[in-house]
Amino acid sequence: MAIEVPLDVYSLIIEWAFRSSQHARSINPSTLRACALVCRAWTPIAQRLLFRRICCTCTNWHGPKCKIRLLVNTLSIRPNLAAHVRHMTVASQPSKHANVCLRLLELCRHVEGIFFLDWADNSTDTGAELNARLRAMQLRPVLLEVVATESSANGVLEALPAVRVLTLRAAHVDSPLPPTIEALKIHGHNAGECLLRSTPLPALRYLSVIAPLWSDTAICPQLISTGILPQLESLQVKGRFPPPQTLEQLVRLRTLVVDQLPEEPTKLLPSLRHFGYHSWTQYLSGQRAEHAKLAVDLISELPELRLVTATRDVAQDVRAALEGMCREEGVEFGTYAMPNHFWKPWNIDWI
């Protein structure tokens, strides 16, 4: 006697398989394509996952067999498939790619996240025209990521002024950032200048600076004067631990992730609930015991602490000391993963 399995169960199984492979960075689109051909009931489930992410950086842009051009034709004929797209990676170099990418953005108006790879800026006529067309689409993505080694991100930010989550990787920005930004992640040594130029940012709550922000002592009083620090709830910094005058301003901070510890324990973070230790530096064996003691002393001064996380590259004895301290204090201990923690408030499951 055949057992009839509810369709919802199939949907959960397919989605679970997709999310598991996605977490392992080994997504196999052929599996989803095979699921789409099993029966009519499976087709919309598989298609929704198959078209969730689109990458428009194909190297073969010529001829009728270009995958990106075929995708544009498919989405033009099947607008229901375009509605499934949530994340898109686009590039404008060389310039002949840009028109196809813009056509895809026109079709996928439900996109929530856009990753611009070396996108054209407004310094050239071609770049200004591309960004003008992008601005005319009136897209409202939640997340925007810009990677540009030479060009500026000004044109993209002007075309998408309502972005809430912004990541800048090696992207030069001359103009102020959009005031709607709630989370900001900057890779680059000009992070401090970018923040000072963009104030006020009234919605900013989550800040990640993958650069030595506090190395320049002159940046501290300037950042304090902007009023950004008191509104932060999550902060990740690379390099020197935030100085005391900065910690005094972080009155709402709930999450702090650092790669260096302070020389002395601090009592200036009474509301901190999540402390993350992201080690970028290898310590000599003779210094690890002292380093472990610094970490334990810091944690002991945080009365509201509920979670401690450490990356896998932290020295084993330091990690063991952290874990032992958490066990004694009844605090949860785990492995830190930046995307999962940083983007969690927005429920972005396609990263």
Q: Quick check: 54 pLDDT over 50?
A: yes
What is the per-residue pLDDT for 280? Answer: 47
3-state helix, strand, coil in the chain (%, to 5): 40, 15, 45
Going by the DSSP 8-state scheme, the letter that residue 284 receives in this structure is P
Looking at residues 241-269, what average pLDDT do you find?
82
Tens-digit pLDDT profile for residues 62-115? 555 567 778 888 888 998 888 888 888 877 555 566 777 788 888 888 888 888
The pTM (predicted TM-score) of the whole model is 0.81
Reported as a single tens digit per residue, the pLDDT across 155-182 is 888 888 888 888 888 777 878 888 889 8
Maximum Cα–Cα distance for the chain, whole Å? 77
Q: Which residue has the higher pLDDT, 116 or 344?
A: 116
Q: How far is CA 187 from CA 150, 173, 211, 212, in A?
A: 14, 12, 6, 10
Q: Where are the domains of the chain?
A: 8-50, 52-175, 254-351
* Rounded Cα–Cα distance for residues 137 and 142 (Å): 15
Q: What is the mean pLDDT of residues 207-212?
A: 80
Mean pLDDT for the chain overall: 77
